[in-house]
Amino acid sequence: MQLDHLNQKQKAAVTAPSGPVLVLAGPGSGKTRVLTHRIAYLVQQLGIAPFHILAVTFTNKAAQQMQVRVESMVGESMRGIWMGTFHSSCARILRREAAYLPFDSNYVILDSDDQIGIVKNILKEENINDKQFRPYTVHSDISNAKNNLVGPDELSVDTQREKVTQRVYQRYQQTLFANNALDFDDLLFWSVKLLNEHPAVRDAYARQFEHVLVDEFQDTNLVQYALLNHLASYHGNIFVVGDEDQSIYRWRGADYRNVLRFEKDYPNAKKILLEENYRSTQVILNAATQVINRNSNRTIKDLRAAREIEGNKIILHEAYDDRDEAVFVVDTIRRLMDHGNAKGSDFAVMYRTNAQSRLLEEAFLKSGLDYKLVGAQRFYGRLEIKDLIAYLRLIHNPADELSFSRIINTPKRGIGPKTLQDLLAAAHAANISPGELVLSLGLEGDKSEHWGHFASRNLNTLAFFGRQFAGWLDARNDLHLPELLDMVIEDIAYEQYLEENSSTRENATDRMANVHELRRLTYEYEEAGLEVFLENMALVSDQDTLPEAADAPTLLTLHAAKGLEFSTVFLVGLDQEILPHSRSLFEPEELAEERRLFYVGMTRAENQLYITRADRRSGYGSYSDCEPSEFLKDIPLECLEVAGRPGSTRHHHRAAGSSGGDWNQYVGPQRGASGINTGTRVFRVPGANRPETEKKYHPGMRVRHPSWGEGIVLDSRVYDEEETVDITFEDVGFKKVLASIVRLEILD
DNA sequence: GGGCAGTGCGCATCT
DNA sequence: CGCACTGCCC
Ligand SMILES: Nc1ncnc2c1ncn2[C@@H]1O[C@H](COP(=O)(O)OP(=O)(O)OP(=O)(O)O)[C@@H](O)[C@H]1O
């Protein structure tokens, strides 16, 4: 193995002797690289068997990539290594140790819709007002409790609200166990419970894991930290890497103070700081540093560009509205791909909320440019996928009442809420599951002891379904997964159901395509089987399915961008109430996290960073005005080039000229002793943006200038009834042209 | 039971 | 504006 691609400090971390190690360092300093090298070093130099290594990453994708990289470095298979996310590692432990736990080893993992659905049912059954107790909120309270290792009976019940929450929590957990189901938080919660309460089990794992390594340590929560302590309790070789400034999952219980806790719990920990940044240009790093320096309670860090490239300025584009903003992004990418030597995969567009991807997608589609979209529940969240998964779950566990209830009337069988209630009641009375009940109806017919409970009209359909169900159960062990799925799809005439229940032809085709994609996916599990397939469907999210091959720009949220890097990054929607998000504005801690989110986004860029915002955005069908994000003020002026409209450009020049390029000084007054950030109007020029005259020139047009020749219009804006056009000319490059003075000929 | 129109609210970010 | 939920009628 080579260590030459590492600097001295990185080498020190990779080859650190046994014992706890804490690598704390800024973005792009090679933390992930160090972790990867460390694993290779352990296996190759120290002869540690992969089986004795646990490496925890933040996403499944990162785990896969890390495994591939280690394997190519070491030149041998890492078979046996425990490499995965907290959730997948816990899922694995729980399957093996279910004997100690209140559920069976073939448990299923519920998705968030299922979880919310259960809460809704409980609220209804308990006659709790769902306006006062929003299912979403109650569920999130339960989730928070679990992430703090609080079970239903340990919940504090001082207020009426907490009492209700406790009641729902208790019933929620009962429902899950009754269906042999777990939610995401349970995976962590029960793993820690297990290791807490069964020292022998804990020791077995702690002895197995000679080395425990954790990436993105700043985003671990209390349960995860407890888990790590257990798993490293025998050998004490715990190697964690992280950066407090990149902690962006506070809302999910993550606590960067785990870093402090770690130092306290492992006082002999070797602490290594990495200072070189191998990713970005100095301009980007300077700007990012200024932005993050406004957060308090942190160690001030210097980010030094190891590449020793000053780099281009950050380009700030202020658009008329959010549609123009999206069009600007796509046009710029197109321009750089057409006229530069950039390829699609050099670009990423990052945003705060998934909803923001829509206008970008539209702009990409319109321009005919391919793109990759990460996340946003485009596949796993679809009804047709969830329906079929529910069938497979029911086949996997015939006692699964939740899946049964979901599919018994999909496709329509005439079994409505009323009949379902009767069915569930009859099953409970007989102490069996509804699945078993219909099996009995189907196989024993009128000799079934349950035959008498139902109206004859329903009996036929239920018995018919029971026989189909029996057929699937018979086939379950003989057929491979794709064949089993085919059998179900055919038996229930699902394709026909989709045809008949889709609003349009395209819609039906689209849904069919999803079914085929699911079918394709099952081929990857021919060997592994149903249980593994179901687990991956729950734990591998859209987030992890970045298509590797396609050479196209990536669209993703800032959260999904964590750990990634791109040559050119667009951070869009830098407006107050978007980033920072409106819901974060009241809590200083949350606002600080929004700032970190911006910081994470900025530091994804290797060479060029674009930041965009819009003066108005659409929402709920109408437009509303936007103010620039308060974070923009902290970008030093000398790092910035302002474009997009005449007002802001002029503003910029004046500012730069008058105060030696110091933005804060220019913005001055609102940065006073009070320390309160006001005056976000930095980029705003009154009345500058509403076009009084129609634009004549549009992005993408070819035009001819009398003296500069031919060029492509990038953008244009109307100000004081005059149109200024941004053009890239073939010969003379980028110019701004005042169209009322110069005769511009449109060529297309 | 199912399909329809009428009402109301916007449930961030992810496993 | 668009979806989720409600209440009404066949
Ligand atoms: N010593 C080095 N020499 C050359 N390139 C390096 C070196 N160390 C890291 N890099 C490169 O720098 C980039 C950032 O590394 P890496 O992703 O490991 O950083 P990180 O600290 O994990 O970043 P982040 O915290 O932003 O996720 C990668 O492209 C990596 O290959």
Tens digit of each residue's pLDDT (9 = 90 or more) over A599-621: 999 999 999 999 999 999 998 88
> pLDDT band at residue A1, thresholds of 50, 70 and 90?
low
Distances (CA, A) of A92 to A95, A205, A221, A568: 5, 12, 19, 38
Look at A312-321, A462-471, A640-649 and tell me which has the smallest mean pLDDT. Answer: A640-649
Q: Is the CB of A61 under 6 A from ligand 1?
A: no
CA of A505 to C1' of B15 (A): 34
Residue A502, pLDDT score: 79
A20, A237 contact by CB (below 8 A)? yes
Q: Is the CB of A242 under 6 A from ligand 1?
A: no
Atom of ligand 1 at shortest distance to CA of A29? 21
Distances (CA, A) of A109 to A39, A94, A701: 30, 12, 52
Q: Check if residue A120 sits with its Cβ under 7 angstroms from strand C.
A: yes
CA angle A514, A520, A526 (to 5 degrees): 140
Tell which strand B nucleotides have any atom below 7 Å from a protein Cβ: 1-3, 10-15
Burial of A307 (0-12, 13-18, 19+ CB in 10 A): middle
What is the value of ipTM here, to two decimals? 0.95
CA of A131 to C1' of B8 (A): 12
Decide if pLDDT at A651 tops 50: no
Q: Check if residue A134 sits with its Cβ under 7 angstroms from strand C.
A: no
Q: Is the CB of A128 under 6 A from ligand 1?
A: no
Q: Is the CB of A7 under 6 A from ligand 1?
A: yes
Percent of chain A at pLDDT above 90?
Answer: 72
For chain A, how far is it from start to end, CA to CA, in angstroms? Answer: 58
pLDDT tens per residue across span A205-251: 999 999 999 999 999 999 999 999 999 999 999 999 999 999 999 99
Among the listed residues A209, A205, A196, A272, the one whose alpha carbon sits nearest the alpha carbon of residue A237: A209
User: What is the Å distance from ligand 1's center to A31 Cα?
Assistant: 6
Among the listed residues A650, A644, A656, A660, the one whose alpha carbon sits nearest the alpha carbon of residue A610: A644
Residue A738, pLDDT score: 65
Q: Check if residue A323 sits with its Cβ under 7 angstroms from strand C.
A: no
A458, A419 contact by CB (below 8 A)? yes
Atom of ligand 1 at shortest distance to CA of A600? 26
Tell which strand C nucleotides have any atom below 7 Å from a protein Cβ: 1-2, 5
A221, A250 contact by CB (below 8 A)? no
Closest nucleotide C1' to the C-alpha of A582? B12
Q: Which amino acid is at A310?
A: E
Is the pLDDT higher at A436 or at A644? A436
Q: Check if residue A382 sits with its Cβ under 7 angstroms from strand C.
A: no
| Structure-block tokens of residue A493 | 């005439």
The pTM score is 0.84
pLDDT tens per residue across span A523-550: 999 999 999 999 999 998 766 765 666 7
pLDDT tens per residue across span A358-398: 999 999 999 999 999 987 777 888 899 999 999 999 999 99
| Structure-block tokens of residue A603 | 């530091």
Closest nucleotide C1' to the C-alpha of A618? C1
Which residue has its alpha carbon closest to ligand 1 atom 9? A30
CA of A416 to C1' of C9 (A): 17
Torsion over CA: A285, A291, A297, A300 (sign): positive
User: What is the Å distance from ligand 1's center to A44 Cα?
Assistant: 22
Look at A310-319, A354-363, A424-433, A534-543 and tell me which has the smallest mean pLDDT. Answer: A534-543
Closest nucleotide C1' to the C-alpha of A413? B1
pLDDT tens per residue across span A482-538: 999 999 999 999 998 888 887 777 778 888 888 998 999 999 999 999 999 999 999
Among the listed residues A236, A271, A213, A285, the one whose alpha carbon sits nearest the alpha carbon of residue A50: A213
- The residues that bridge with A182 in the sheet, in sequence order, are A109
A185, A141 contact by CB (below 8 A)? no
| Structure-block tokens of residue A471 | 């057929």
Decide if pLDDT at A176 tops 70: yes
Residue A673, pLDDT score: 26
User: What is the Å distance from ligand 1's center to A564 Cα?
Assistant: 10
Decide if pLDDT at A659 tops 60: no
Per residue in A73-102, is it b (16+ CB within 10 Å) or e — as a string? bbeeebeebbbbbbbbbbbebbbebbeebe
Q: CA–CA separation, A422 vs A439, rounded Å?
A: 16
Q: Is the CB of A37 under 6 A from ligand 1?
A: no
Atom of ligand 1 at shortest distance to CA of A278? 12
Residue A724, pLDDT score: 64
Percent of chain A at pLDDT above 70?
Answer: 89
pLDDT tens per residue across span A720-732: 455 667 788 787 7
CA of A205 to C1' of C7 (A): 57
A665, A642 contact by CB (below 8 A)? no
Residue A198 carries which DSSP code?
-
User: Cβ–Cβ contacts within 10 Å for residue A725, how many?
Assistant: 25
Q: Is the CB of A6 under 6 A from ligand 1?
A: yes
Q: CA–CA separation, A353 vs A210, rounded Å?
A: 40
Is the pLDDT higher at A713 or at A151? A151
Distances (CA, A) of A575 to A325, A350, A560, A594: 12, 14, 20, 12
- The residues that bridge with A304 in the sheet, in sequence order, are A276
Closest nucleotide C1' to the C-alpha of A120? C5
pLDDT tens per residue across span A57-99: 999 989 999 999 999 999 999 999 999 999 999 999 999 999 9
Q: Is the CB of A278 under 6 A from ligand 1?
A: yes
Residue A621, pLDDT score: 83
Closest nucleotide C1' to the C-alpha of A116? B11
Helix spans in A293-412 (H): 322-339, 357-367, 383-396, 401-407
Q: What kind and span of H or E run contains A721? A: none
Among the listed residues A427, A55, A105, the one whose alpha carbon sits nearest the alpha carbon of residue A231: A55
Q: Is the CB of A324 under 6 A from ligand 1?
A: no
A746, A701 contact by CB (below 8 A)? yes
Residue A644, pLDDT score: 67
Among the listed residues A78, A23, A19, A21, the one whose alpha carbon sits nearest the alpha carbon of residue A54: A78
Q: Which of residues 107-166 of A touch strand B (CB under 7 A)?
A: 112, 116, 134-137
pLDDT tens per residue across span A446-459: 898 999 888 888 89
CA of A465 to C1' of B3 (A): 24
Atom of ligand 1 at shortest distance to CA of A34? 18
Q: Check if residue A415 sits with its Cβ under 7 angstroms from strand B.
A: yes
Q: Is the CB of A32 under 6 A from ligand 1?
A: yes
Q: CA–CA separation, A665 vs A482, rounded Å?
A: 65
Residue A718, pLDDT score: 64
Q: Check if residue A557 sits with its Cβ under 7 angstroms from strand B.
A: yes
Q: CA–CA separation, A442 vs A381, rounded Å?
A: 32
Strand locations in A680-732, DSSP E? 702-705, 709-719, 722-729
Q: Check if residue A414 sits with its Cβ under 7 angstroms from strand B.
A: yes
Residue A346 carries which DSSP code?
G
> pLDDT band at residue A144, thresholds of 50, 70 and 90?
very high
Strand, coil or helix: A695: coil
Look at A108-122, A169-183, A225-239, A719-733 and tell me which has the smallest mean pLDDT. Answer: A719-733
Q: Which residues of A are catalytic?
A: 31-32, 215-216, 246, 604
> pLDDT band at residue A709, thresholds of 50, 70 and 90?
confident
* Beta strands A53-56 and A640-643, pairing class: unpaired
Q: CA–CA separation, A50 vs A42, rounded Å?
A: 9
Q: CA–CA separation, A496 vs A47, rounded Å?
A: 57
Closest nucleotide C1' to the C-alpha of A117? C4
The chain-wide mean pLDDT, for chain A, equals 88
Decide if pLDDT at A105 tops 50: yes
